Amino acid sequence: MRIFKTRQFDRWAKKHDLADRLLINAVKEMNGGLIDADYGANLYKKRIATGGRGKSGGMRALIAYNIEAKAYFLYGFEKNERDNISEKEKRAYKILAKAVLQFSAGDIKKRLQDGSLVEIRS
């Protein structure tokens, strides 16, 4: 399984000291059926436990996800920053999820080279 972060998500994760190993673990949980919210169109919300706060007080991530194939971390936020995203944002992220999940190998390679995607290596 390949796991990616958008440039924006990568910047946000670095700012909040969100380690790649936690993102890998979140995807493993999703592969095991532990999904916090299914927004449809292969867009999911996943809670990520951080720094002793547990999942309920930790981070939230929006992920474009195909089971056992690819996962793209699109957006992150802390629980104390906001409870959820708006319906308008949900619609926009569904469109983005559909687009990234259709990337060909060439599309991914190009985006890795230009820095708009970052691959998470386990």
Average pLDDT over residues 8-17: 95
What's the pLDDT at 18?
A: 93
Ramachandran class of 21: left when φ > 0, alpha when ψ lies in -120 to 50, beta otherwise: alpha
- The burial of 36, by beta-carbon neighbours within 10 Å (0-12 exposed, 13-18 middle, 19 or more buried), is given as middle
Q: Is the per-residue pLDDT at 86 higher than 70?
A: yes
What's the pLDDT at 54?
A: 52
Query: What SS3 state is found at 2?
Result: strand
Average pLDDT over residues 100-113: 97
What's the pLDDT at 11?
A: 97
What's the pLDDT at 49?
A: 80
What's the pLDDT at 84?
A: 86
Average pLDDT over residues 86-112: 97
Q: Convert the pLDDT of each residue in 49-82 to its tens digit.
A: 876 655 555 799 999 999 879 999 999 998 788 8
What is the value of pTM for the model shown?
0.92
What's the pLDDT at 52?
A: 60
User: What structural domains does the chain harbor?
Assistant: 2-115 (3.30.2310)
